[in-house]
Amino acid sequence: MTLSAATMRDLRPYLGDSRVLITAHMRPDPDAIGSVLALREAVLQVGGTPTCMLEDECPVRCKVLPGAPEIKVAKDCGGLPPFETVIVADSGNRDRIGEVESFVAPHARIANIDHHVSNTRYGQLVLLDCDAAASGEVLYEIFIELGLRITSSVAANLLAGILTDTGRFRHSNTSPTTLRIAAELVEAGASLTQLTEQLYFSIPAQDLFSTSQVLSSLEFFADGQISTMFVPRDYAVEDPDNLIDLGRAIDGVEVAVLFSEMKDNRIRVSLRSKSRINVSEIAERFGGGGHERAAGFRMYGTMQTVQQRLLPVLSEALQSR
């Protein structure tokens, strides 16, 4: 843990405010959702009044998490006055909160809680631990330092983020500390079995049909070291990033890329690497960010034109390693 106790204690005044806006990045994953919901309970425990708001709707697989119905979508919140106190979780860049920004008062105090190495350190209070596997891991340490209760619902939400950001404890970001915290959360009432079933093995039938279409777009470049796949907008895939693990798992592939069409005519690019390429550095060159082995960015264009812009950069990175 790289955060000081004093810095973590500085969060308490934010939690106790009469109006606290809690948000996270666009297209939220379980770590973002779980962090927002755990923070909601933290605010309630301290005596504040939380409002959880995101740019996008809660993913279907995350709707089973305790408190998920409390999350609002920005487009449905017209008329709410701006918030003077804001807590942003799991978002390396302030711009990634999207339309929620319109609910942030011009001089709001912002607490930035995250674990991404690409975090731009925005906000008046930065609680950033790049050694943590997930924002849920950072929040666990904060809960302990502030003497907040790790209820069974808090435990489930934090463990959901840790479980998914470590790829079910498979990725290299899984440290001894990560495993110890996960054990503490299970002891506090979170069910690892139930979360795994809900988040990974409750797949809508349509997703399987769409997955076959996405897999048919698989291509290889750089002598098989790069794999790419396309997700057209009309393919309903609840969690397309799960597909990228298949591309990365192929023998000989170092970098897997998934190009997904978005409603705003941008392309969402997800990057995963095995051991040699720091995909966070590559994502940052295109305005994105993330982790050394998992990162992404968004760009206007077609899937094919974005692919054409990215491939030379990836090939150059491979040649220099």
Helix (H, G, I), strand (E, B) or coil at 144: helix
**Are 30 and 131 part of one and the same domain?**
yes
From first to last of its 321 residues, what are the pLDDT tens digits of the chain? Answer: 679 999 999 999 999 999 999 999 988 999 999 999 999 999 999 999 999 999 999 998 899 999 999 999 999 999 899 999 999 999 998 999 999 999 999 999 999 999 998 899 999 999 999 999 999 999 999 999 999 999 999 999 999 999 999 989 988 899 999 999 999 999 999 999 999 999 988 877 877 778 888 899 999 999 999 999 999 988 767 666 678 889 999 999 999 999 999 888 899 999 999 988 999 899 989 988 878 888 889 999 999 999 999 999 999 999 987
Structure-token pair, residue 77: 């919140």
| Token pair belonging to 61 | 């697989």
Answer yes or no: do 181 and 217 share one domain: no
238 and 302 share one domain: yes
The CB density around residue 98, as the number of other CB atoms within 10 Å, is 17
By DSSP bridging, strand 219-221 and strand 226-231 are antiparallel
On whether the CB atoms of residues 143 and 42 are closer than 8 A, the answer is yes
| Domain count for the chain | 2
In this structure, are 64 and 173 located in the same domain? yes
Provide φ and ψ at 247, rounded to 5°. Answer: -65, -35
Q: What b/e string do you get for 253-271 counting C-beta neighbours within 10 Å, with b at 16 or more?
A: bbbbbbbbbeeeeebbbbb
Domain with 160 in it: what CATH number? 3.90.1640.10
Q: Are residues 153 and 15 in the same domain?
A: yes
Helix (H) or strand (E) holding 21: strand 20-24
Boundaries of domain holding 192:
5-200
What is the CA angle 98-39-11, rounded to 5? 95
Half-sphere exposure of 150 (CA within 13 A, CB side): 24
Domain C-terminal end among 180, 200, 220: 200
- Could you give the CA distance from residue 43 to residue 39 in angstroms, rounded to a whole number? 6
The CATH number for 282's domain is: 3.10.310.30
3 state SS of 222: coil
Residues 239 and 117 in one domain: no
Do 46 and 15 contact (CB within 8 A), yes or no? yes
Q: Judge if 193 and 267 occupy the same domain.
A: no
Residues 259 and 245 in one domain: yes
Same domain, 256 and 193: no
Tell me the whole-structure pTM to 2 decimals: 0.88
Asked if 271 and 173 sit in the same domain, the reply is no
Q: Can you tell me whether residue 247 is helix, strand or coil?
A: helix
